[in-house]
A and B are shown apart, each in its own frame.
Chain A
Amino acid sequence: MTKAVEWTNTAFLEEVERRSGAPVGACLQCHKCSTGCPIAPEMDLLSSQVMRMVQLGLDEETLASKAIWLCASCEACTTRCPMEIDIAGVMDTLRMLAVERKAAAPDERVRTFNDSFLKSVRRHGRVFELGMMTAYKLRTRDFFSDVDKVPAMLAKRKLSFLPHHSSAAAKEVREAFKRADEEEKKR
C-alpha cells in the first residue's frame, strides 16, 4: 500500500544535515549507494530510500527502521556518491537520533552490542572481550549463538579471563566519557 506524504517537515532534514555535516538535500536518487551496499538484502530500507525519507521529513519511520542499525559502516556508499554525501556518516547520525528520541528499535542487538562495548571501554580503558560478550549475551538473552566458538577461542588465547588495563589510563578514559556525554547534549 502506498501512503501519500505531505512534504512539510523540513526540520528533520535540517537537523540531520547539521549533525552529520552531509548535504542530504542534494541526493538526486541515483541509487548508486544502494547498488553497492553489502547489507541491502537484509535492509528494510535501502540507503537511497533512507536519504529520500530524510528529505521528506519522515522522521519516525526513518528512525524506527532496521536499516540504520544493520548498516555496517563499510563506507562504500560514501566513497561512491556522486553528490559527495557521507551516507555512512548520516547513518551514524540517525542511530544517535534514534537513541536520543527513544525510537522503537526493531532489533535491539546492534544497539546492545554498541552499549556493551562502550561500557567495557569506559570501565577498563580498553575492551575486555570476554566481559563484553557476557554482558551482551545477558542483555540480549541470546545464550546459544557462538557458544560453540568460545572453548576454541580460549584455547587459542583469543579471549582472556582478565581485562588488560592500566588504572591510570582507565581513569583518563572514564573522565573523557563523562565530558563527551556532556558535549553530546549540546549538539
Chain B
Amino acid sequence: MKYAFFPGCSLESTAWDFDKSTRAMCQALDIELTDIPDWTCCGSTPAHSSNASLATALPAMNLQKAREMGLEVMAACASCYARLRTANHKVKTDEQERERVKTITGAAYAGETPVRHVLDVLVNEYTVERVRSRISKPLSGLRVASYYGCLLSRPPEVVAFDNPEHPTCMDELIDAAGGEPVDWPYKTECCGASLSLSNANIVGRLSHRLLAMAVEAGADCIAVACPLCQMNLDMRQADANAHGKLPPTPALYITQLLGLALGLKPDDLGLNALTINANAVLKKISSGERRSAQAGAAR
C-alpha cells in the first residue's frame, strides 16, 4: 500500500506529534508514505472565508503535484483533508471553478487525484481485522472516547467515508487495538476549531462541554484525528477548567494510541508533546498487560 502524503502546515509545527505518530504507525503497518514534493498550504478556514478562488486553487496545486506521482493522496489533518476533498468536489461539479483553477495555477485539474484520510485508509483499505492481527500490546482496560469533530464526516457530499452523525471508524480501531470504546453523545460536536486564537473564551466553553461529557462517560482519554481538536482539548484544557474543574484527561491522536498498541515506544510517537501527559494511559495499559499475563500464567 502506497500513498502520496500531504502533511500540511499544522503537522510540521503545532502537531508534529501527529506527523511523527502517523508516519511511525504507517511504517509499522507497511503502509508506504511519500510526501508530495514541495507541498504548500491548503488555505484552511481563512481561505474559504476570504477568497473562494484561492480556497479551491491552493489544494488543487497540491493535487496536481500528486497526480504526477500517480498515487492517491493521504492526509492526516482533518482540516486539510476536508479542504482537499472540497476542492475535488468543486472542480468536479462546477465548470467555472475548473476554469478558474486553470487560470490561477496555470494547469488543468478536474479532480483526478483521490484523497483519503488515514482513518479511511485503515478501515476501508487496510481493514480493521488486519489492524487487529498486528496488535502486540493491547490497550487492555483503556476506556477511550473517540472524538471525530466536524470535518472528518461533514458534509457527507464531500467526505463520506463514515456516518456523518454517528461515525464509528475510530471506535472500531480502538476495539481492534484491545481498548474499550466508550459510548458518548458528543462524537461530532464542534470544539470551536479555528476560533482558538481569536475567541479563546468560546473554545474554552466548548472544550469544557466535550471534556465533561467524556469524563462522565468514564473515559480515561480522548482519541482525536485533528490538530485543532487536539490543541483545543489538550493545551486549552486549562481554559476549559475556567468553566468548571475537571480531572486531567489526556487527548491523544488516534495514531498515537494505535502506535502504542502496535508496540511502538512513546518517544517514537511524540507523546512528550502532550500538555496533559499520557502517564495515566501508559500505566493503565501496562497494568492491563500484567493482568492478562497473570491470567495466562494461572491457566
A contact set with B: CB distance below 8 Å: 19, 21, 38-39, 41-42, 70, 72-76, 78-79, 86, 88, 92-93, 95-96, 99, 109-110, 112-115, 117-118, 121, 125-127, 129, 133, 136, 145-146, 149, 152-153, 156-160, 164, 166, 168-170, 172-173, 176-177, 179-181, 183-184, 187
Q: Are B57 and A38 in contact (CB under 8 A)?
A: no
Total A-B pairs, Cβ < 8 A: 166
Cα A76 to Cα B193 with chains together (Å): 13
A79-B154, A115-B46, A129-B9 given; 11 more Cβ-contact pairs under 8 Å: A39-B202, A72-B150, A76-B188, A109-B198, A115-B50, A118-B43, A118-B50, A146-B197, A168-B38, A183-B103, A184-B53
Cα A34 to Cα B50 with chains together (Å): 23
Instruction: State whether A70 and B273 are in contact (beta carbons under 8 Å apart), knowing that A126-B12, A180-B51 are contacts in the complex.
Output: no
CB nearest neighbor in B for A99: B50
Residues of A within 8 A of B273 (CB): 156-158
Q: Are B38 and A166 in contact (CB under 8 A)?
A: yes
Q: Are A179 and B50 in contact (CB under 8 A)?
A: no
B298 proximal to A (CB < 8 A): no
Q: Find residues 1-35 in chain B having any chain A CB closer than 8 Å to their own CB.
A: 9, 12-16
Cα A170 to Cα B100 with chains together (Å): 20
Could you name 12 residue pairs across A and B whose Cβ atoms are closer than 8 Å?
A19-B52, A39-B202, A78-B154, A79-B155, A79-B164, A92-B48, A114-B45, A118-B43, A126-B41, A158-B15, A180-B54, A183-B100
Smallest distance from the beta carbon of A22 to chain B beta carbons, Å? 12
CB nearest neighbor in B for A165: B40
B242 proximal to A (CB < 8 A): no
Q: Are B190 and A110 in contact (CB under 8 A)?
A: no
Smallest distance from the beta carbon of A98 to chain B beta carbons, Å? 10
Smallest distance from the beta carbon of B218 to chain A beta carbons, Å? 24
